[in-house]
Amino acid sequence: MSEKILDIKDERLSFFTPAGEVKALNGVSFTMNQGDVLGVVGESGSGKSVTAYSIMGLTAYPGKLVGGKVWFNGHEIENMKEKDFRKIRGNEVSIIFQDPMTSLNPVYTIGNQIVEVIRLHTDKNKADAWARAKELLELVGINEPEKRLKQYPHELSGGMRQRVMIAIALACEPKLLIADEPTTALDVTIQAQILELMQDLRKKLGMSIIMITHDLGVVASMCEKIAVMYAGHIVEYGTTDEIFYQPGHEYTKGLINSIPKLNTAEHERLVPIEGTPVDLLNPPAGCPFAPRCKNCMKICLSKMPPRTELSDTHYTYCWLQQKAAFEKGEKAE
Amino acid sequence: MENIKKNPLSLQLNAEDFLPASNEEKQSLVVMRESVNFWKDGIRRLKKNKIAMVSFVFIIAIAIFAYLLPAVWPYSYSEQMKGSNNLKPFEYSASEQARIDAGEKVFPHILGTDRMGRDFAVRIMMGTRVSLSVGLIASVLVLIIGATYGAVAAFAGGWVDNIMMRITDILYTIPDILLIILLGMALKDPLDALATKPGFKWMQTLGPNMISIFIIFALLYWVGMARIVRSQILILKESEYVTAARALGASSGRIIKKHLLTNCIGTLIVTTTLQIPASIFTESYLSFIGLGVAAPLPSLGSLATDAVKGMNTYPHLLIAPALMISVMILVFNLFGDGLRDAFDPKLKN
Amino acid sequence: MSEHKTLVEVQHLQQYFPAGGVGKNRKYVQAVDDVSFAIRKGETLGLVGESGCGKTTTGRTLLRLYEPTGGKIYYDGNLLFDKDNKIAVDMLPYRRRMQIVFQDPYASLDPRMTIGDIVGEGIDIHHLAENEKDRHDKIIALLERVGLNSEHANRYCHEFSGGQRQRVGIARALAVNPEFIVCDEPVSALDVSIQAQVVNMFEDLQQEMGLTYLFIAHDLSVVKHISNRIGVMYLGKMVELADSYELITHSIHPYTRSLISAIPVADPITARQSKRIVLQGDVPSPLNPPSGCRFRTRCPYADEQCANEVPEFKEVSTGHWAACHHLDRVK
């Protein structure tokens, strides 16, 4: 077994808005080992980005960690100050954002921006840093790196900018790379390029990746393990095959069923999840998915389901799984 | 299952818990928040802003002070009391002292009297009234002219917009104080002449200078408003809901009325409110250099000018109007900022 | 049967937007260039392509929300627009028959209007209600039709989720009883689970009201699901048009093929086995598109002919159209 790199235990995080406390994370727990690629899937507002950002201490005001423990590569995140975060950001953990245009500074050249990151975290001199920047651009598959280094972000296309962002993120060979919807803003053909690149880089550099996305297609090809999030809970966690072929939570099932299939001759009606996402200002007392669940039971409305282990690598929080276990147990007795 | 037995919850479980929940039960969990519209939401935010609320109380107090108090004040702003010249605050003239001694009640001159024996407190009130009125009317003028101009330019687009905006650019580059002084001088005679004509008698009470102040505001100060409104409309015009209205066959008039104006109104209110202190300041300034309202109507600016001469002996005559101007400008600015935060958060940056 | 009757037709539709420059140096964004297609009554024509390919512009130009710079538009046999003969009819009567649903459920609803007034706007413009009560009843009926209820009518759109707002947008379009709706990426901004709700609603509405759709999206899976036929656009040109299943399984244009293979499949086993055709490079700028075939800069089959001649958009087999010089070589 490779060594543990990330251990989140019962993380709770809230945004204190004027309208009230928005409970963004309600007890999130998972661990990652060095070299793992974890997909975090969920709808907007499910807390998938917030989870990842909190590892880097990027929770924006008025967000606050209100409980739990976050351990990353020897650091206790919950006790860290901004100053301490600055040391690990870009160095041990870095992030790629959804929109590469807004995350690059338009008034500096690509080269300047990469060199700045390199020099911030290493004691390389300018020439060495520049050489390293060139190397990085080559690594992420950019032709004519010399020329590109001297260009400004607006002179590059969306796909190229995302490659530059990846180069910056990899500048100090982080242990963990957080990719927050890295291909959502890109076209399908460019998305394919970037995903291919990320897989290559992972093989070459061996870092861990947290891939945040709403697209099940992206995680299917990229990730080994998947965490499905809903309303600030990880409702199911397992290997990619377990999640896709033996989903244990009603939400995961619904999510998989609602995707239109490409290669079918007959017209099959889509199976949507009815209802609307939960209001995190007034989350329900029981399972957050209960109001939209087809097989909702009485207990779901009042009590949060406990964890059910479906295999060593697969667990879910759903009363239906408990029900199955309960009935089995009753028979056994 | 072992897993279940370990779980303390499982002890309390029974088969009934696993009965399907009805739709009603599920729906009862979905609570919709209380409906809030734009105004309610804005006012709620405004009420939470302490500085804005304190400013608002001050504005109300100033309005009462300027518009209601002079009517019940025992002295009139133009009444010259013989022998009461240059009294200090709460000082009585010889004749007044005699009346007090005779057992009569005499209302004190809280701020004393001026050189000509007029009660200074009531003159401050009248001055505030004039300044406030000029500020309000000028702002409304700016609003009407600026908003119309900006909206027309944005809506017409193309070369019309281009020409109209170049005109505002030119107006922007003219040093305004210079122009105000020149216009003030140039307009004085024709306006004086006009005021003597029948039908224009009302101008005399107001004073031709006051009219020229309004003309100056109308000519110069709408430029900023026009630009803000234009940029706002340009953004709104391209919004998808306006395209949707066009796809439904809505006429231009309908789009302006139903979509563009209603969505601009927050900006309009905020910009107008912030225009008021600017207008008050300009009016005070003009009055101070002698281009303001005609005597005997006092304005805070002209009161200050009069007081400058006796500044060393009677400093309160200068401090009172100066303080009043400062407080007015401050509270209107603070209140305007509060309005902006409440109704137009986008404008903040 | 009116099944094969053409409802909407565009011929050589062109839309250039001015982009700075004066006189001879004036530049144009060639958003849509020489696009022709017909939509039959009751069918759904899907339009796919990457950002900047002109699919949205095509939809809006078709409704004459932008005045076309060239070509002809027919609706139900009537000529709406003909650049060459300078014909541009008054659209008002057609606005009732042709409607649009937008992509962004946040930007497409006026934040200062109640849901009821948004839905009622078309009713007001075309005077479809006899009195205030009739108007109210019609609005409630429309809201219920799209899965909202009467309680929602007095609320403002910011109180709703993306999916609910999109329903309001659909109700607004339905208010004038249209026959034809341009669906401009109506589900792209929605979460997957909500997306399926809205797609199903479009299908139900089509069945009940006999609607005809032009369904624009960048997600080929969604377009395939809802459309009878699909047109693929690249840089302002239509490159391939065929029945949806035919297009997915037997695409002949190299761009369509790479587009299909680039879609991430939500199935890990298939995903591991499939080999992607990863297109190199980026989409060129529509300000200065490549000569000849616009796809040639990224096409593995490109040669000199592709640089010199614009490929003709022709019928390759029955109902299957494509524009490529090397169809025989593409396998």
CB contact under 8 A, C196 and A260: yes
For the domain made up of B36-78+117-341, the CATH class stated in words is: mainly alpha
pLDDT score at B6: 44
pLDDT score at A330: 62
Which residues in chain B have their CB less than 8 angstroms from residue C99's CB?
Answer: 247-248
CB contact under 8 A, C278 and A263: no
pLDDT higher than 50, residue C269: yes
Q: Which amino acid is at A313?
A: T
Measured distance CA(C185)–CA(C240) in Å, rounded: 19
Interface list for chain C against chain A, based on CB atoms closer than 8 Å: 50-51, 161-164, 191-197, 199-200, 203, 218, 220-222, 224-225, 245, 248-249, 258-269, 271-272, 276, 278-280, 282-283
Q: Among the listed ranges A265-279, B316-330, C67-81, C104-118, which one has the minimum average pLDDT value? A: A265-279
Instruction: Say if C68 is an interface residue toward chain B (CB within 8 Å).
Output: no
Which residue of C lies nearest to A240 if distances are taken between CA atoms?
C268
- Percentage of the residues of chain B whose pLDDT score is greater than 70: 87
Which two structure tokens, joined as six digits, stand for C270?
A: 């298939």
pLDDT higher than 70, residue B2: no
User: Domain containing A289 — which CATH number?
Assistant: 3.40.50.300
Question: What average pLDDT does range B226-253 have in this prediction?
Answer: 90
| Closest CA of chain A from B21, distance in Å | 4
Which residues in chain C have their CB less than 8 angstroms from residue A189's CB?
Answer: 50, 258-259, 262, 278-279
pLDDT score at C2: 44
- Percentage of the residues of chain A whose pLDDT score is greater than 90: 25
Question: What average pLDDT does range A125-145 have in this prediction?
Answer: 89
pLDDT tens-digit map of A20-51: 888 889 889 999 998 889 999 988 888 888 89
CB contact under 8 A, A254 and C193: yes
Q: What ipTM was assigned to the predicted interfaces of this complex?
A: 0.86
Q: Among the listed ranges B55-64, B128-137, B212-221, B253-262, which one has the minimum average pLDDT value? A: B212-221
CB contact under 8 A, C121 and B248: yes
Band of residue B4 on the pLDDT scale cut at 50, 70, 90? very low
Which residue of A lies nearest to B1 if distances are taken between CA atoms?
A329
Which residues in chain A have their CB less than 8 angstroms from residue B342's CB?
Answer: none
pLDDT score at B3: 45
Instruction: Say if C155 is an interface residue toward chain B (CB within 8 Å).
Output: yes
Report yes or no on A124 lying in a domain.
no
Question: What average pLDDT does range B30-43 have in this prediction?
Answer: 71
Q: Which amino acid is at B229?
A: V
CB contact under 8 A, C113 and B258: yes
Q: Per mean pLDDT, which of A192-206, B74-88, B113-127, C170-184 is the most reliable? A: C170-184
CB-CB contact of B106 with B96 (8 Å)? yes
Task: Give the residue from B106, B69, B74 showing the smallest Cα distance to B90.
Answer: B106
The domain ranges of chain B are 36-78+117-341, 79-116
| Closest CA of chain B from A311, distance in Å | 11
Band of residue B205 on the pLDDT scale cut at 50, 70, 90? low
Which residue of B lies nearest to C65 if distances are taken between CA atoms?
B247
pLDDT score at C183: 95
User: Average pLDDT, whole number, for chain B?
Assistant: 81
Measured distance CA(B143)–CA(B197) in Å, rounded: 30
Instruction: Say if A138 is an interface residue toward chain B (CB within 8 Å).
Output: no
Strands C180-184 and C212-216: parallel
CB contact under 8 A, A258 and C195: yes
pLDDT tens-digit map of C143-153: 999 988 888 88
Which residues in chain C have their CB less than 8 angstroms from residue A269's CB?
Answer: 200, 203
- Pick from B9, B19, B31: CB nearest A298: B19
pLDDT score at A280: 82
pLDDT score at A78: 83
Which residue of C lies nearest to A155 if distances are taken between CA atoms?
C285
pLDDT higher than 70, residue C16: yes
pLDDT higher than 60, residue B10: no
Map out the domains of chain C with their CATH numbers: 6-41+48-97+180-192+212-322 (3.40.50.300)
Which residue of A lies nearest to B13 if distances are taken between CA atoms?
A326
CB-CB contact of C267 with A220 (8 Å)? yes
pLDDT score at C1: 40
pLDDT higher than 80, residue B297: no
3-state secondary structure (DSSP) of residue B156: helix
CB-CB contact of B225 with B250 (8 Å)? no
pLDDT score at B301: 85
Band of residue A299 on the pLDDT scale cut at 50, 70, 90? confident
Instruction: Say if A281 is an interface residue toward chain B (CB within 8 Å).
Output: yes
Band of residue B348 on the pLDDT scale cut at 50, 70, 90? very low
Q: Which domain holds residue A29?
A: 4-82+227-328
Which residues in chain B have their CB less than 8 angstroms from residue A284's CB?
Answer: 29
CB contact under 8 A, B26 and A323: no
| Closest CA of chain B from A20, distance in Å | 12
| Residues written for chain C | 331
pLDDT higher than 80, residue A135: yes
Strands A225-230 and A233-239: antiparallel
User: Average pLDDT, whole number, for chain A?
Assistant: 87
Band of residue C160 on the pLDDT scale cut at 50, 70, 90? confident
CB contact under 8 A, A260 and C199: yes
pLDDT higher than 60, residue A333: no
Q: B interface mutation test: which of A250, A299, A314, A327 has the most B CBs within 10 A? A: A299
Report yes or no on A313 lying in a domain.
yes
pLDDT higher than 80, residue B245: yes
Band of residue A82 on the pLDDT scale cut at 50, 70, 90? confident
Question: What are the start-end ranges of the E strands in chain A?
Answer: 4-17, 20-33, 37-41, 63-72, 75-76, 93-96, 176-180, 208-213, 225-230, 233-239, 308-309, 315-316
Convert chain C into a string of H (helix), E (strand) and C (coil): CCCCCEEEEEEEEEEEEECCCCHHHCCEEEEEEEEEEEEECCCEEEEECCCCCCHHHHHHHHCCCCCCCEEEEEECCEEEEECCCCEECCCHHHHCCEEEECCCCCCCCCCCCEHHHHHHHHHHHCCCCCCHHHHHHHHHHHHHHCCCCHHHHHCEHHHCCHHHHHHHHHHHHHCCCCCEEEEECCCCCCCHHHHHHHHHHHHHHHHHHCCEEEEECCCHHHHHHHCCEEEEEECCEEEEEEEHHHHHHCCCCHHHHHHHHHCCCCCHHHHHHCCCCCCCCCCCCCCCCCCCCCCCCCCCCCCHHHHHCCCCCEEEECCEEECCCCCCCCC
pLDDT score at A331: 56
pLDDT tens-digit map of B83-104: 777 777 777 777 778 888 887 7
Q: B interface mutation test: which of A274, A293, A298, A327 has the most B CBs within 10 A? A: A298
pLDDT higher than 60, residue C319: yes
Band of residue B31 on the pLDDT scale cut at 50, 70, 90? low
Q: Per mean pLDDT, which of A274-283, B77-86, C122-131 is the most reliable? A: C122-131
Report yes or no on A309 lying in a domain.
yes
Instruction: Say if A331 is an interface residue toward chain C (CB within 8 Å).
Output: no
Band of residue B45 on the pLDDT scale cut at 50, 70, 90? confident
Name the CA radius of gyration of chain C, rounded: 21
Q: Residue B118: enclosing H or E segment and its boundaries?
A: none
Q: Among the listed ranges A271-285, B18-32, C275-289, which one has the minimum average pLDDT value? A: B18-32
Tell me how many domains chain A contains: 1
pLDDT tens-digit map of B319-335: 888 999 999 999 999 99
- Percentage of the residues of chain B whose pLDDT score is greater than 90: 13
3-state secondary structure (DSSP) of residue B67: helix
- Pick from C194, C225, C262: CB nearest A189: C262
CB contact under 8 A, A276 and C163: yes
Greater confidence, B21 or A222?
A222
pLDDT higher than 80, residue A200: yes
Report yes or no on A153 lying in a domain.
no
pLDDT tens-digit map of B256-274: 888 988 888 888 888 888 8
pLDDT higher than 80, residue B218: no
| Closest CA of chain A from B26, distance in Å | 5
CB contact under 8 A, C108 and B241: yes
Question: What average pLDDT does range A162-180 have in this prediction?
Answer: 89
Measured distance CA(C35)–CA(C207) in Å, rounded: 28
Among A residues 210-239, those touching chain C with beta carbons less than 8 Å apart: 214-218, 220-221
Q: Among the listed ranges C22-31, C92-101, C176-185, which one has the minimum average pLDDT value? A: C22-31
Band of residue C123 on the pLDDT scale cut at 50, 70, 90? very high
